Amino acid sequence: MINRDGTPTINDVAALAGVHKRTVTRVMNSSSKVKAATRAKVEQAIEVLNFSPNRQARGLAAKRSFLLGLVYDAPTLFINDILKDTLGIIEDEGYELVVHACHYPSENVVKDVTRFVKRANLDGVIVLPPVADIADIGKELQKAGCPYVRVTSDVSDETSRLVVTDYLSAISDMTRHLVEFGHREFGFISGPNTHLSSRKRHEAFVQALSTHGIELPAEMVVEGAYTFDSGLMAANQLLSRERRPTAIFAANDEMAFGVIKVANQLGLKIPADLSLVSFDGTPFSNFAVPTLSTIIRPTGLMAKLATQKMLAQFNSGSNATHISETMISPQFEARESTGPVPGR
């Protein structure tokens, strides 16, 4: 029966397709119990009527809210990319996204996340680093009865679903690229030491340098905050030294942009006087002048895997083998900001 406002109902779809309205619901929920021919008739009826199901009614029928959560810390260019890519995927699956920013580190962050998932009545939640790296976050989400996927920087033996980032291979490729240009004096701008991702990038860089017989002195490491302003501060520290580095590795693109600004203020040309590499590979890294040599994290793939793992828990159960831990490998891409050591 068509509503008074002229919008078609699920009963109209069922009547046009010649099926029970329960079958229409199954088609909308991508149930495997519907035969291909029947599914085709229902989908054609939906298209003819331009039917758009009410999310609340659909949720009651399927015992779901059709809401997925995304938990993160401070907004960064990387988070923006993940958010955009996740939205593109879940919209095709009929879900909506509810985002929640945390204050990390904080003793109340775990309670904050669990309150969020209960208040928002989420079907599941994707947790991004550094919040995802908290030891108890998975256990507390399980207690709250909320399926989850963690995007983290370390492997784990827990039964949660993980999308893990592997840093060593790409950082080794980046280091080799700079060493082949003759660089031996390196500076490193890390992220916050409270972040596991920051510590992992630091460890990987030290390990990569050691394979070439190069040490990274403590005074050549400056802690940043994954922000442009902290990149300015760190670059000023490194480049004001009497023996400054010939190459700097900034642990994310935003801090690398700070290095570019400081180098320009000091009259240093990149890469003639200073080579610069970054991490994340956001689209803005290709807009910089010069374009940034960077380690590119495949945010589209990360968002796709995390979302697929999340949705698979609804369709296949939390023990489904195809949603187990997955390792993501970033790739180093050399661009304009790296070149031979000065004087070579």
Q: Same domain, yes or no, for 175 and 120? A: no
- Please report the sign of the dihedral spanned by the C-alpha atoms of residue 242, residue 246, residue 250, residue 253: positive
Range of the domain at 54: 10-62
CATH of the domain at 84: 3.40.50.2300
The candidate with the shortest Cα–Cα distance to 154, out of 325, 330, 335, is 325
In a domain, 135, yes or no: yes
Rounded Cα gap, residues 171 and 169, in angstroms: 6
pLDDT value at residue 60: 46
Check whether residue 230 and residue 141 sit in a common domain.
Answer: no
Cβ neighbour number for residue 85 with a 10 Å cutoff: 18
Residues 178 and 159 in one domain: no
pLDDT of residue 1: 47
d(CA 280, CA 291): 14
Residue 336 lies in a domain: no
**Pseudo-torsion of CA 244, 250, 254, 260, nearest 10°?**
30
341, part of any domain: no
Residue 308 and residue 275 share a domain: no
- CATH code assigned at 50: 1.10.260.40
Check residue 318 and give its pLDDT: 46
- Residues 36, 115, single domain; the answer is no
pLDDT at 305: 86
> Does 315 lie in the same domain as 279?
no
- Last residue of some domain: 62, 87, 106? 62
Q: Which residue(s) pair with 296 in the sheet?
A: 280, 331
Rg from Cα positions in the chain = 25
User: How far is residue 185's CA from residue 339's CA, in Å, rounded to a whole number?
Assistant: 14
CA atoms within 13 A on the CB side of 241: 16
* CA 336, 183, 154, 231 torsion-angle sign: negative
**In this structure, are residues 14 and 21 in contact, taking their beta carbons and an 8 Å threshold?**
yes
Residue type, 133: D
Positions of the chain with pLDDT lower than 70, given as ranges: 1-6, 29-32, 53-63, 157-161, 315-324, 344
Q: Does residue 132 contact residue 107 with C-beta atoms inside 8 Å?
A: no
**Ordered DSSP codes for 5-69:** TS---HHHHHHHHTS-HHHHHHHHTT-TTS-HHHHHHHHHHHHHHT----HHHHHHHHT---EEE
Our count of domains for the chain comes to 3
121/99 Cα distance (integer angstroms): 13
Is-contact 296 330, C-beta < 8 A? Answer: yes
Quote the strand ranges of the chain, DSSP E: 67-72, 96-101, 124-127, 148-152, 161-165, 186-190, 221-223, 247-250, 275-280, 293-296, 326-328, 331-333
Query: Is 106 inside any structural domain?
Result: yes
pTM of the predicted protein model? 0.77
22 and 79 co-located in one domain:
no
Amino acid identity at 152: T
Say whether both 180 and 257 belong to one domain: yes
